[in-house]
Structure 1
């Protein structure tokens, strides 16, 4: 028997899908998935808290829209690995560095959608509110922001799905959620570990997107009614 055939016959199977791997490494999978999910939600939440006032400021002061969106765009173009390397000497190796990077990338997506959503409010609605005596801040908070909710929710959905993918890159500073398992699988050439972590990452992105889609329909039912009409 040729040496290559003999080696293939004696080597253990290394399938891409293995339920045995899942059962034997359940604790690792749960820990990595929990870390991945927590990082994603925290990054998007912090980015949204920052993007809302910045987007409102850009809407109220149009001259600031270009510089704000442009700055966020420049930060977005920095490669994630390079950004983590730049932050590491200041914030250390671990969770903080990854979280700052994720917030930076999510900020541009959210800021753009907020600015576009506020700019897309029907001028007739604004005129009607002004006719009722609404001031600038009341107009923004009670008329423009609610009407911009569909665009804002769309931005949150996009930012969340993007962040789920970017968390895996955090493996370069030792905090990458499911990316840790992928990297370990690549190093050991263990296909089942790579595929399981990849499928969990895809499932997490899909679940988050569906939940946010349902939440958007629930908090902005008027937009659904408008599309139906």
Structure 2
């Protein structure tokens, strides 16, 4: 049997999907970790991006920070925080939140900043407050770029959450790390396939949501 036949056999083995430690359990763990990381990253990135994009203050800092965050090695950060804080959920969450902040912050900031200044000035001339301009004018117009940043961050997080298994946590990366330890290559290939399919499905769902929430005039 070649590697593809063995991988298929692994997928179709009894209990592969429903047993303890099976695919469904690992999938839910992977989604749970990803959602938690994106939640904390959004709490940090979205308010900063909205403020910088609306006021124009700190633009150079944001550009520099997002570029620097993209260059950080995630596995190195994970190792650093694990050595500092010990094994557990805190260290990988912090490391991956730092990873997710960059695309989210860039998407929110660039989306707000890209709104035509003439449109913003017209809203001010009509007596709208700065909060009304941000929520009723800039946010609807910036929605495609903001959602693009969210999709980018989501894909990065889903792909990188696999490293959480490196410090004995769950998720689909468990198959990759455990398979590598015993040279079970079909299990490792299955892990790669599962993560790739999950990323594609989530991205497709986000694309549908983005289209539904975006005004037809800004698509």
Q: TM-score, normalised by structure 2?
A: 0.88
Counterparts of 2:45 and 2:11 in 1: how far apart (Å)? 44
Shifted more, 55-64 versus 78-87: the winner is: 55-64
Q: Quick one: which of 14, 19, 23 aligns to 2:14?
A: 23
Deviation at 1:69, TM superposition (A): 3.7
Counterparts of 2:82 and 2:179 in 1: how far apart (Å)? 25
Contact 1:167 1:176 in 2 (8 A): no
Compared CA separation, residues 90 and 18, structure 1 to 2 (3 A): same
Paired residues, number: 214
After TM superposition, which residue ranges in structure 1, 4 or more long, deviate above 3 angstroms? Answer: 19-22, 224-227
- State the match for 1:81 in structure 2: 75
- State the match for 1:100 in structure 2: 94
Q: TM-score, normalised by structure 1?
A: 0.84
- 1:128-167 deviations in Å (ceiling 9; x for gaps): 2112101222211221112111101111111111111111
Counterparts of 1:135 and 1:225 in 2: how far apart (Å)? 24
Contact 2:38 2:100 in 1 (8 A): yes
Contact 2:10 2:187 in 1 (8 A): no
What secondary structure is seen at the aligned counterpart in 2 of 1:133? coil
What secondary structure is seen at the aligned counterpart in 2 of 1:93? coil
- 1:52-111 deviations in Å (ceiling 9; x for gaps): 110122124434122234234323322112101221244321222111111111101011
What secondary structure is seen at the aligned counterpart in 2 of 1:204? helix
- State the match for 1:203 in structure 2: 197
What secondary structure is seen at the aligned counterpart in 2 of 1:156? helix
Deviation at 1:21, TM superposition (A): 5.4
